[in-house]
Amino acid sequence: MAVRSLAYIRVETRDVGAWRHFGEQVVGAAATPDSTEDRLMLRLDGRPWRFRIEKGDQEKYLCAGLECPSEEAWAAVLDKLDKAGVAVERGDAALAVDRHVRGIASFADPSGNRIELVWGNVVAGTPFVSPVGVPAFVTGEMGFGHVVVPTSCYDDTRRFYKDLLGFGDSDEMRVHFPGGPEQGLGMSFMHASGPRHHTVAVGEFPAPSGLIHTMVEVPSIDDVGLALDRALAAGVHISSTLGRHTNDKMISFYMRTPSGFDIEFGCGGEQTVDWTTVTPTFTIKEDLWGHKWDFGA
């Protein structure tokens, strides 16, 4: 497989200060010393950053940084994209340095979701220390988590990630709700070469912010509960109560970020070492328990 993990996401915001408070005091990430009023870099582990928050005129998810394990794998994906007629912009050395990677190229999937394809594991060289005592985030070869992006062309977008970026199917579901289409709305969960159940998912849902949600994982249910307490104390909108998903077994809750998309904060996600031994599933019930949703502001 070509892509190994989710390296980072970039977000635009009108209020970097609000993101700093949310990122540090609620999520438990650590702002880097070189963060400014116009740019916030949030660490979750030994990487220089995992969230890049950029001051702008809108509240908007900008892109995901998807990481290849080597320059050879990265070049092979770019070759596939070129042959498929995808418009790819190669980044120069200065952009790679800015993203703390060794190589970078950018393009969009068929639904317009932007991707920065990168390679090169650059490390910070200093330990991660959470300002609110989160002991660690579960990252490593799995990357920092996953993203769920909206799609206006479900089948084409699925094929793009599978055929060109090398993702594999983990699970698919149809989400039914009152007044919705009879066949439900599709969600497809796809794994990279790392052991995380899914690194990218696509969903037939509107997302004015540009992203349905991203996920961070912590070691224990106590770490999840403490984050929920911090979110409630800070007045953060809780988009979903605590629950456990059927497909990846994650125990989590969802909270609204300052830019309008959600962060799933969870533990206990399923991992797979050898994907050749796994048969993709089709889920007819999204949750084993919990996850009562409130999509309000």
3-state per-residue secondary structure call for the chain: CCCCEEEEEEEEECCHHHHHHHHHHHHCCEECCCCCCCEEEEECCCCCCCEEEEECCCCEEEEEEEEECCHHHHHHHHHHHHHCCCCCEECCHHHHHHHCCCEEEEEECCCCCEEEEEECCCCCCCCCCCCCCCCCCCCHHHECEEEEEECCCHHHHHHHHHHHCCCEEEEEEEECCCCCCCCCEEEEEEECCCCECCCEEEECCCCCCCCCEEEEECCCHHHHHHHHHHHHHCCCCEEEEEEEECCCCCEEEEEECCCCCEEEEEECCCECCCHHHCCCEEECCCEEEECCECCCC
pLDDT of residue 122: 93
The architecture in CATH of the region 140-290 reads Roll (3.10)
Q: What is the 3-state secondary structure (H, E, C) of 201-227?
A: EEECCCCCCCCCEEEEECCCHHHHHHH
The architecture in CATH of the region 5-119 reads Roll (3.10)
Confidence band, pLDDT 50/70/90 cuts, at residue 72: very high
Q: Is pLDDT above 80 for 297?
A: no
The pLDDT tens digits of the residues spanning 14-58 come to: 999 999 999 999 999 999 999 999 999 999 999 999 999 999 999
pLDDT of residue 178: 74
pLDDT of residue 1: 60
The pLDDT tens digits of the residues spanning 77-118 come to: 999 999 999 999 999 999 999 999 999 999 999 999 999 999
Across the range 242-246, mean pLDDT stands at 98
Take residue 90 and report the two structure tokens written for it.
């190669």
Identify any residues that bridge with 5 across adjacent strands, giving them in sequence order.
Answer: 67
What is this structure's pTM? 0.96
Q: Is pLDDT above 80 for 212?
A: yes
First and final C-alpha spacing in the chain: 39
pLDDT of residue 98: 97
Across the range 223-237, mean pLDDT stands at 98
- What gap in Å lies between CA 65 and CA 106, rounded to an integer? 9
The pLDDT tens digits of the residues spanning 151-191 come to: 999 999 999 999 999 999 999 999 877 777 777 889 999 99
pLDDT of residue 176: 78
The pLDDT tens digits of the residues spanning 110-148 come to: 999 999 999 998 999 999 999 999 999 999 999 999 999
Give the residue from 88, 77, 205 showing the smallest Cα distance to 149. 205
pLDDT of residue 295: 86
- Residue span(s) of the chain under CATH 3.10.180.10 come to 5-119, 140-290
